Chains A and B, each alone.
Chain A
Amino acid sequence: MNSGRLLAAFLFTATVALVVIGTLWPAPSAAAYAGAQSMLASSSTAEGAVRNLADEIRAQQWDKAYSHLANKAQFTEPEFAHDLTGYYPSLLTYSTLDKFEVHPLHASDTEADMQLTMHWATVVGSSVSTRQLHVVKNGNTWEAEWPVVKEPTVPPQVIPVNYLRWDVIYRGPGDDWGAQDVEAPHVRIVDMRPVERADGVVILGELLNEDVVPAYVSVGATLISKNQTTIATEGSFDKIAHLLLPKQVTPFFIKFPNVALSDVGSIRMSPQSSLIAASADPVIEIGDQQLHPAPDASLTGQLINQSGQIVNVAHVLGTFYDKSGKIVWVADQYVDHALSPQNPVPFQIHIPEDLAKNIATQRTVVSTYSSGGSL
């Protein structure tokens, strides 16, 4: 009883002491977040100027960051902020700069080039963007020139859209037992392959909506050991395009961490589908898709929104095959910028280096989310 009181008193005293210490001598990062001075007090070096700028971006102090730019005459503060947070609501709009890295590329006494790599924390994970900044010396301080990318805005207009939309009426609570309900969409796994990786087993595959109605789909998998016991059950989570229009195919990726393929006797797949109200709009062109070999193996391309609706979040899924058409890998990327009509937005999906040499072809699909609730 006495020892418990002693521990409580100690914890209370220690907490008060830490609060006092933190208030009197705050950590630079905490002070920066609290709106005090930047972590680096001066911009006496080119790298320091870029770090100051990145700190201000992290604190979302757009006015301060803008005031420290060397080329602010070329754009307005809102344009600067929109360049970082998106002109239309997108993943970046609801993200914060988690961390950044500054790499000097070139430097002289009066000017320098720096690469600023920004790691944004978004609702779907980290998103990395890189900018190359030209930094110039102005008197005793250095100032960065922000390479603003002015996203083309869509002029006010009315774009007629007459794509199909499906709505669903389910059976009501007053219907008799035995009364018919609308049939769930028929979906089929058209390809499936388990792959062993260093951190576990992954199940790769493709799912087809073979019906004439839209389907909301997901795939689950259960690994069964050789003695018929269940090892683990996992789902595809977001590694799948959940909305499938008729005859559309999505890849899926299910990860089982810390499982060895040699322990698996069989796999039970559970494709699930349900009817969903959906629209055939928007149509997205996936243009200029190119496979890049290792090092830095990736699939690049650009998304072009061919519809009139702003797409706030686009999720690109790539399926990679070997020469024989066997599925080798599935990877994805969320595009952090909104897709406005007819404006190409690039994407890059990274491919594991060890698998890149086996990849001969690919197939890319994109699923989109627009604010307002429609899928």
Chain B
Amino acid sequence: MRAGSSLLVSGLILVAAQLSPGQGTTMSLPKTVEAGAAFSIQNPGSGKATLYIIGTGQVLKRDVQLGETTFFPAGSLYNAGRYLAVLTQDSSTQNGSFDVVPASKPADMSFFAKPSRLPVGLHDGITGTVYVFDTYHNLISAPTPVSFELSTPSGTVQKRTLVTSEGAAWTAMDSTAQQGIDRFAARIGDVSSTRIVGQVPGDPCTLKMNARQSGQQVELITDPVRDCSGNAIPDGTIVTFTQSYKGSQSTIDQPLKRGIAQVTMQVHPGATLSVASGVVMGNQIGWAK
């Protein structure tokens, strides 16, 4: 059944394509139809005929009385694109084309915010891209104003207002010095969408440890580890403690817990103790006891 319909449509397109330019069409077609809007087609002549409207993903068929106007109610055609109208009566065929354009009023948007997590203090580190759609999810290619708003944990708000080009608009914002959750919103008229962006601490800035005797062993404990903006480095971040002694080395990768890293190890008198996290080196302690 579906194959039969496809064959019919293909045949109609072929017939219409074979018409010479001189034959023309006398159907009265609208130049453009807004997606989802009602429209009408005036069919000249007399008698009964069949009108086909063929477009991307949509085909309409109406039995029409020539000489009268055929009305199509709202919602008949909703996919934007070029449509072919073919009017067939017996062996004669008339055809014409018209465009279904997106509705002018935005009804939906796709908002891409990248990344969802980034270090603090990055210039243009957060990007947002918006695609604007009408009720029927047609991309609105007409210029449309879009406002972006990034609310940061420090309370500051960054705003941009742009106009879409070919249905899209994008902007870049800075991450601020304070860690926390950003709310990144895009608004077009009364349509809005919000994304969450996490601002996380950067690399440790000052990594300092202290050592103290604890029974037979030595307890190594860092000061609270912070980045250069003063944000606490998240728990779970690995801190490496190293003891170097006469060509021998002992290391422990210890995750931060409650902002500090703490280990207990057997330390040789004369050993050098050092601490690091990622590519950041901390202080060294010569253990003389």
Q: Which one of B255, B265, B278, B279 contacts A164 once the chains associate, using CB atoms below 8 Å? A: B255
With both chains docked as a complex, state the minimum distance between the C-beta of B247 and any C-beta of chain A, in angstroms: 6
Task: Give 12 A-B contacts (CB < 8 Å), ordered by A residue.
Answer: A162-B257, A178-B112, A180-B196, A210-B278, A212-B237, A246-B238, A280-B236, A285-B251, A286-B250, A289-B248, A291-B247, A364-B251
Which partner residue on chain A sits nearest B251 by CB separation?
A: A286
What B residues does A209 contact at CB under 8 A? Answer: 278
Question: Given A178-B131, A181-B116, A182-B116: A285 and B234 within 8 A (CB)?
Answer: no
What A residues does B248 contact at CB under 8 A? Answer: 288-290
Which partner residue on chain B sits nearest A364 by CB separation?
A: B251
Residues of B participating in the A interface, judged by any CB pair closer than 8 Å: 110-113, 115-117, 131, 195-196, 200-201, 203-204, 234-239, 247-255, 257, 263, 265-266, 277-280
Q: Which one of A248, A280, A288, A363 contacts B250 once the chains associate, using CB atoms below 8 Å? A: A288
In Å, the complex CA distance between A362 and B244 comes to 11
Which partner residue on chain A sits nearest B255 by CB separation?
A: A280
What B residues does A208 contact at CB under 8 A? Answer: 278-279
In Å, the complex CA distance between A246 and B280 comes to 13
With both chains docked as a complex, state the minimum distance between the C-beta of B280 and any C-beta of chain A, in angstroms: 8
Which partner residue on chain A sits nearest B265 by CB separation?
A: A285
Total A-B residue contacts, Cβ distance less than 8 Å: 100
In Å, the complex CA distance between A175 and B247 comes to 56
Q: Are B195 and A180 within 8 A (Cβ)?
A: yes
**1/0 per residue A167-180: CB within 8 Å of B?**
00000000011101
Q: Which one of B110, B252, B266 contacts A306 once the chains associate, using CB atoms below 8 Å? A: B252
Q: Are A283 and B236 within 8 A (Cβ)?
A: no
Which partner residue on chain B sits nearest A188 by CB separation?
A: B279
Which partner residue on chain A sits nearest B196 by CB separation?
A: A180
| A183 interfacial contact with B, CB 8 Å | yes
Question: Given A210-B203, A280-B236: A249 and B110 within 8 A (CB)?
Answer: no
Q: Are B250 and A245 within 8 A (Cβ)?
A: no
With both chains docked as a complex, state the minimum distance between the C-beta of B200 and any C-beta of chain A, in angstroms: 5
Q: Are A246 and B234 within 8 A (Cβ)?
A: yes
In Å, the complex CA distance between A364 and B113 comes to 39
Residues of A participating in the B interface, judged by any CB pair closer than 8 Å: 162-164, 166, 176-178, 180-183, 190, 208-214, 245-249, 280, 283-291, 301, 306, 362-365
In Å, the complex CA distance between A247 and B237 comes to 6
Q: Are A164 and B110 within 8 A (Cβ)?
A: no
With both chains docked as a complex, state the minimum distance between the C-beta of B109 and any C-beta of chain A, in angstroms: 8
Question: Can you name 9 extra interface pairs (CB under 8 A) apart from A177-B110, A208-B279, A301-B250?
Answer: A163-B255, A163-B257, A164-B257, A178-B110, A178-B112, A180-B113, A247-B238, A248-B278, A285-B251
What A residues does B266 contact at CB under 8 A? Answer: 287
What A residues does B257 contact at CB under 8 A? Answer: 162-164
Q: Are A180 and B236 within 8 A (Cβ)?
A: no
Q: Are B265 and A166 within 8 A (Cβ)?
A: no
Q: Are B252 and A285 within 8 A (Cβ)?
A: yes
Q: Which one of A180, A214, A288 contacts B116 once the chains associate, using CB atoms below 8 Å? A: A180
In Å, the complex CA distance between A181 and B195 comes to 10
What B residues does A283 contact at CB under 8 A? Answer: 252-255
In Å, the complex CA distance between A290 and B246 comes to 9
With both chains docked as a complex, state the minimum distance between the C-beta of B283 and any C-beta of chain A, in angstroms: 17
Q: Are B249 and A362 within 8 A (Cβ)?
A: yes
In Å, the complex CA distance between A246 and B254 comes to 11
What B residues does A280 contact at CB under 8 A? Answer: 236, 255
Which has the most chain A C-beta neighbours within 10 Å: B200, B203, B247, B279?
A: B279
Which has the most chain B C-beta neighbours within 10 Å: A180, A209, A248, A289?
A: A180
In Å, the complex CA distance between A176 and B277 comes to 39
Which has the most chain A C-beta neighbours within 10 Å: B252, B255, B257, B263?
A: B255
Q: Are A183 and B237 within 8 A (Cβ)?
A: no
What B residues does A163 contact at CB under 8 A? Answer: 255, 257
Which partner residue on chain A sits nearest B201 by CB separation?
A: A212
With both chains docked as a complex, state the minimum distance between the C-beta of A66 and any C-beta of chain B, in angstroms: 37
Which partner residue on chain A sits nearest B204 by CB separation?
A: A247
Q: Are A249 and B249 within 8 A (Cβ)?
A: no
With both chains docked as a complex, state the minimum distance between the C-beta of A361 and any C-beta of chain B, in angstroms: 8
Which partner residue on chain A sits nearest B108 by CB separation?
A: A176
What A residues does B235 contact at CB under 8 A? Answer: 164
In Å, the complex CA distance between A176 and B133 comes to 14
Q: Are B253 and A212 within 8 A (Cβ)?
A: no
Question: Given A180-B196, A211-B117, A212-B234: A245 and B255 within 8 A (CB)?
Answer: yes
In Å, the complex CA distance between A178 and B130 comes to 9
What B residues does A365 contact at CB under 8 A? Answer: 253
In Å, the complex CA distance between A363 and B278 comes to 13
Which partner residue on chain B sits nearest A248 by CB separation?
A: B238
With both chains docked as a complex, state the minimum distance between the C-beta of A31 and any C-beta of chain B, in angstroms: 49
Q: Are A249 and B252 within 8 A (Cβ)?
A: no
In Å, the complex CA distance between A229 and B199 comes to 41
Q: Are A245 and B110 within 8 A (Cβ)?
A: no
With both chains docked as a complex, state the minimum distance between the C-beta of B172 and any C-beta of chain A, in angstroms: 17
Q: Are A183 and B238 within 8 A (Cβ)?
A: no
With both chains docked as a complex, state the minimum distance between the C-beta of A165 and any C-beta of chain B, in angstroms: 9
Which partner residue on chain B sits nearest A361 by CB separation?
A: B249
In Å, the complex CA distance between A247 and B263 comes to 18
Question: Given A247-B277, A283-B252, A283-B254: A178 and B234 within 8 A (CB)?
Answer: no
Which partner residue on chain A sits nearest B247 by CB separation?
A: A290
Q: Which one of B113, B203, B236, B251 contacts A289 once the chains associate, using CB atoms below 8 Å? A: B251
With both chains docked as a complex, state the minimum distance between the C-beta of A76 and any C-beta of chain B, in angstroms: 34
What A residues does B277 contact at CB under 8 A? Answer: 247
In Å, the complex CA distance between A76 and B111 comes to 69
In Å, the complex CA distance between A306 and B263 comes to 10
